[in-house]
Amino acid sequence: MSHANREPVKFAYWVPNVSGGLVISNIEQRTSWSIDYNRKLAQIAEENGFEYALSQIRFTAGYGAEFQHESVSFSHALLEATKTLKVIAAILPGPWNPALAAKQIATINHLTNGRVAVNVVSGWFRGEFAAIGEHWLDHDERYRRSEEFIRALRGIWTEDNFTFRGDFYRFNNYSLKPKPIDPQPEIFQGGSSRAARDMAARVSDWYFTNGNTPDQIAKQVSDIRQKAKESDHSVRVGVNAFAIVRETEEEAKAILAEIVEKANPEAVNAFGHEVKNAGKASPEGEGNWAKSSFEDLVQYNDGFRSNLIGTPRQVAERILDLKRAGADLILLGFLHFQEEVEYFGKHVIPLVRELEAAEALQPVAAE
């Protein structure tokens, strides 16, 4: 069965607002977490076919990422430096409460002509929670809190006299002024466990999942669309990938081999232990990283599994496969961000658009 959307697939890149890039490896990475590098990167991205940028929230180091800029303020700076790019600010319930987040994002929405979005993340890093004195909730409890958080955000943004009685949050006749201008900020979420999918099917606009094969993505999409239908909700899907696009397949594969060869095994294993442990209370074992191998874990979100590693044509064809599996957006990480975002925009995205145009001429297959 094809889940393909007829709209052009969208592209996003991970904002490198934490140090060390997107792979846990000592390979050379010509990427910087500085604001100057990131402003220029955002401009390159919007000029080269990228619609979104996703910033990250981290409070402490762990397995790399020694330095971290805060996501909402950093996202605002990138929005100020660009004209059309939408920037997704990551928000972690716990450190943020929905009253503050709703107010902060509503203001940025006004300042940037509605270009800010949020990614509500539920957390995986217990040591980080301990370091900042936050309670560590069990896996499914974290999602129950995130769902209330999202319901509260939407309520505050759209209703006057908002009243909410949750287990985690309470609001009494609260009227936010001014409310965001349209378009309303889009709400993304990270996570792909049962609890994460159920939350997406009920309340999120977008579901972000770790890298995976088209078959595995298609299974997740079927499941989530079915559940969303039951809740009379619709949710779009973003898939993570670490792209290595070079003129020849050999070159691209050699870079992957070098990334893995130069990985720091202790850090990768410690990261693997942490993320698998974070998902333990997710009883079905389907969460992000449940099946990740050592090689997969060298990239924080299983980005090698999506296999966007090869020539521009190979990569464009594989993006079409992910789209047929139901991906509405591809979220990309790179080794050398500025150079590779530009290369991807100039050499891969036009091929994707050609393939999409050719496919649009085909009759729609009966499902």
Ligand X SMILES: Cc1cc2nc3c(=O)[nH]c(=O)nc-3n(C[C@H](O)[C@H](O)[C@H](O)COP(=O)(O)O)c2cc1C
Where along the sequence are the contacts to ligand X (CB under 6 A)? 56-58, 90, 92, 121-125, 190-193, 196, 208-210, 240, 279, 282, 287-288, 301, 331
- CB 307 to ligand X: min, Å: 17
- Our CB check for ligand X shows the closer of 162 and 208 to be 208
Buried b (16+ CB within 10 A) or exposed e, 228-260: beeeeeebbbbbbbbbbbbeeeeebeebbeebb
- CB 192 to ligand X: min, Å: 4
- Our CB check for ligand X shows the closer of 48 and 301 to be 301
- Our CB check for ligand X shows the closer of 176 and 268 to be 268
CA 114/CA 105 separation, integer angstroms: 10
Cα-flanking dihedrals φ and ψ of residue 171, to 5°? Answer: -135, 145
CA 131/CA 133 separation, integer angstroms: 6
Q: What is the DSSP string of 57-106?
A: --SS--SS--SB--HHHHHHHHHHT-SS-EEEEEE-BTTB-HHHHHHHHH
- CB 129 to ligand X: min, Å: 10
Which of these, 141, 168, 173, lies nearest to 156 by C-alpha position? 173
- CB 332 to ligand X: min, Å: 11
CA 322/CA 149 separation, integer angstroms: 30
- Our CB check for ligand X shows the closer of 25 and 240 to be 240
Looking at residue 155, its amino acid is G
Contact 272, 280 (CB under 8 A): no
Residue number of the CB atom closest to ligand X = 190
- Our CB check for ligand X shows the closer of 312 and 326 to be 326
- Tokens 């990334």 belong to residue: 259
- Our CB check for ligand X shows the closer of 33 and 162 to be 33
- CB 290 to ligand X: min, Å: 8
- Our CB check for ligand X shows the closer of 127 and 350 to be 127
Q: Which helix (H) or strand (E) holds 269?
A: helix 265-278
Which residues have a Cβ under 8 Å from the Cβ of 312 and sit 6 or more positions away? 245, 347, 348, 351
- CB 34 to ligand X: min, Å: 18
- CB 341 to ligand X: min, Å: 17
